[in-house]
């Protein structure tokens, strides 16, 4: 039985993408060679890389605006480090809105001063801090658009005169935004873009070259940019499958089209959480994430029944992260509305049983 996959990441991808990626592992476009056996310097792979980079910019509306896209290795966690190495000279401002934000602060602190402009840690990160000031003499401001673990999402971004950096790992390509307000965006592929193993970095080139430290080659955005994202052997399968997913999104109508679907799924999910007396949402309502809905089951005695019902319905990956407990329904781009309907039915069936 095909599952309803609510996993928080790695997570569901479009079935047609899985099929095409699977075929390419045996034979890429009837070339007689597997995708993973060819040289990354071959025309076939260079074309794939270039297409992936171009599609990322196109979908974000950043073509011809001074931005370049890179597909790097190391996960978003390596970006915590690369952002600081490439951009932090003296002091930077960070918004501490969740576990990943806190980790980005920890890594940057190795290199220089970090100022937490605001934090929601005291409330176990159940809301997005607002109303803070960002000093205009800082090197940059860093924030996390969607807090995967806690299920909160930034609905607006601060206007600021310094470079704006955003970790969009768990909501990139899910909603329309003016992406040109950001100077650097990064996102691990394994939510809305592809398999784990590559990280998209979109950089406005003019923010680079302003720090005095010597940057190791593999950590240097300029090095990767100068080599067309192929300074060393790229993670070919992850890049190819990301390219397929971006193509799928473009064919659907781009971010504006998927945003409508994502809104429908989130509305259905949160209305069940709110109306069903057995469940309670974790995140403050105004900051609720359209990607990850976090909620708890109020009556512990019903836990076993609920989880058996989930299993019988083929629902996978609903367990909450240990820092929040309860459940987390991750509703990434590729999750069909039908999967949310199945989950909501199970929740209301539990109510009728209770």
Query: Residue 288 pairs with which residues in a beta bridge?
Result: 152
For the chain, where are the alpha helices, taking DSSP H only?
15-26, 43-60, 75-87, 99-109, 221-226, 236-252, 254-275, 303-312, 337-353
Q: What is the DSSP letter of 182?
A: -
Q: Minimum distance from CB of 181 to Mg ion (Å)? A: 6
**Shortest distance, position 259 Cβ to a second copy, whole Å:** 22
Residue 228 binding result from a second copy, Mg ion, ligand PLP, none, given CB thresholds of 5 to 8 Å by partner type: none
Q: Are strands 199-204 and 67-72 parallel, antiparallel or unpaired?
A: antiparallel
Residue 171, helix vs strand vs coil: coil
CB of residue 78 to ligand PLP, shortest distance in Å: 7
**Cα–Cα distance between 52 and 17 in angstroms, integer?**
14
The nearest distance, CB 68 to a second copy, in angstroms, is: 20
Say if residue 190 carries a ligand binding annotation: yes
Q: Name which of 179 and 279 has its Cβ closer to Mg ion.
A: 279
Q: Which of 68, 139, 167, 265 is catalytic?
A: 167
The answer to whether 100 is a known catalytic residue is yes
Residue 233 annotated as binding site: yes
- φ/ψ of residue 93, rounded to 5: -105, 135
Does the annotation flag 212 for ligand binding?
no
For the chain, the first-to-last Cα distance in angstroms comes to 28
Comparison of 80 and 282: residue with beta carbon closer to a second copy: 80
Greatest C-alpha distance within the chain: 65
Does residue 314 contact residue 338 with C-beta atoms inside 8 Å?
Answer: no
Q: Is 94 helix (H, G, I), strand (E, B) or coil?
A: strand
Which sign does the torsion angle of CA 164, 169, 171, 175 carry? positive
Q: For residue 237, state whether it binds Mg ion (rule: CB under 5 A).
A: no
Instruction: Write down the catalytic residue from 139, 171, 183, 191.
Output: 191
The reply to whether 338 belongs to the active site is no
SS3 231: coil
Which partner in ligand PLP, Mg ion, a second copy, none is near 279 (CB below 5 to 8 A by kind)? Mg ion
Instruction: Return residues touching ligand PLP (CB under 6 A).
Output: 9, 75-77, 100, 144, 148, 167, 169-170, 188, 232-233
Q: Does 282 bind Mg ion (CB under 5 A)?
A: no
- Residue 75 vs 228, nearer CB to a second copy: 75
Q: Is 100 annotated as a binding residue?
A: yes
Query: For Mg ion, which is the closer residue by CB, 164 or 187?
Result: 164
167: annotated active-site residue: yes
* Contact flag: residue 179 with Mg ion (CB under 5 A): no
8 A C-beta contact, residue 110 and residue 221? no
Q: How many CB atoms lie within 10 A of CB 251?
A: 10
Q: Measured from the CB atom, is 55 or 340 closer to Mg ion? A: 340
289 is in an annotated binding site: no
Residues that bind a second copy (CB under 8 A): 1-3, 5, 7-13, 18-19, 21-23, 25-26, 31-34, 36-40, 73-78, 80-81, 103, 106-107, 110, 188, 190, 194-198, 214, 216-219, 231-238, 241, 314, 316-317
What does DSSP say about strands 164-167 and 184-188: parallel, antiparallel, or unpaired?
parallel
CA distance 134 to 117: 7
Which residue positions form the known binding site? 41, 76-77, 100, 148, 167, 190, 232-233
Which residue positions form the known binding site for L-glutamate? 41
Which residues form the catalytic set? 100, 167, 191
């Amino acid at each position: 039985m095909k599952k309803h996959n609510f996993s928080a990441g790695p997570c569901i991808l479009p079935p047609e993408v899985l099929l095409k990626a699977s075929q390419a592992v045996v034979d890429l476009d009837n070339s007689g060679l597997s995708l993973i056996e060819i040289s990354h310097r071959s025309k076939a792979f260079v074309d794939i890389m270039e297409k992936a980079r171009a599609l990322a910019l196109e979908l974000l509306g950043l073509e011809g605006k001074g931005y370049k896209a890179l597909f790097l290795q190391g996960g978003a966690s390596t970006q915590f480090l690369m952002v600081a190495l490439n951009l932090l000279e003296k002091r930077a401002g960070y918004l501490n809105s969740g576990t990943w934000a806190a980790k980005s602060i920890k890594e940057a602190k190795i290199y220089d001063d970090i100022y937490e402009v605001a934090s929601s840690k005291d409330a176990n990160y159940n809301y997005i801090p607002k109303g803070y000031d960002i000093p205009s003499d800082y090197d940059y401001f860093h924030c996390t658009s969607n807090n995967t673990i806690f299920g909160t999402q930034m609905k607006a971004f601060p206007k600021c005169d310094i470079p704006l950096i955003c970790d969009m790992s768990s909501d990139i390509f899910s909603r329309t935004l003016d992406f040109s307000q950001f100077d650097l965006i990064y996102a691990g592929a394994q939510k809305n873009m592809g398999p784990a193993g590559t990280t998209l970095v979109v950089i406005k080139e003019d923010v680079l070259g302003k720090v005095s430290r010597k940057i190791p080659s593999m950590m240097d955005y300029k090095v990767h940019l100068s080599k067309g994202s192929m300074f060393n052997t790229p993670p070919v399968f992850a890049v190819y499958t990301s390219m397929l997913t971006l193509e799928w999104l473009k064919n659907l109508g781009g971010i504006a089209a998927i945003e409508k679907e994502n809104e429908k799924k989130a509305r259905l999910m949160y209305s069940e959480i709110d109306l069903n007396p057995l469940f309670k949402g974790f995140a403050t309502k105004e900051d609720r994430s359209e990607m990850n809905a976090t909620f708890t089951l109020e009556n512990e005695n019903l836990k076993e029944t609920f989880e058996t019902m989930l299993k019988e319905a083929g629902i996978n990956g609903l367990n909450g992260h240990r820092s929040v407990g309860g459940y987390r329904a991750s509703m990434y781009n590729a999750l069909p509305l039908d999967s949310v309907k199945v989950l909501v039915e199970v929740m209301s069936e539990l109510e009728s049983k209770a």
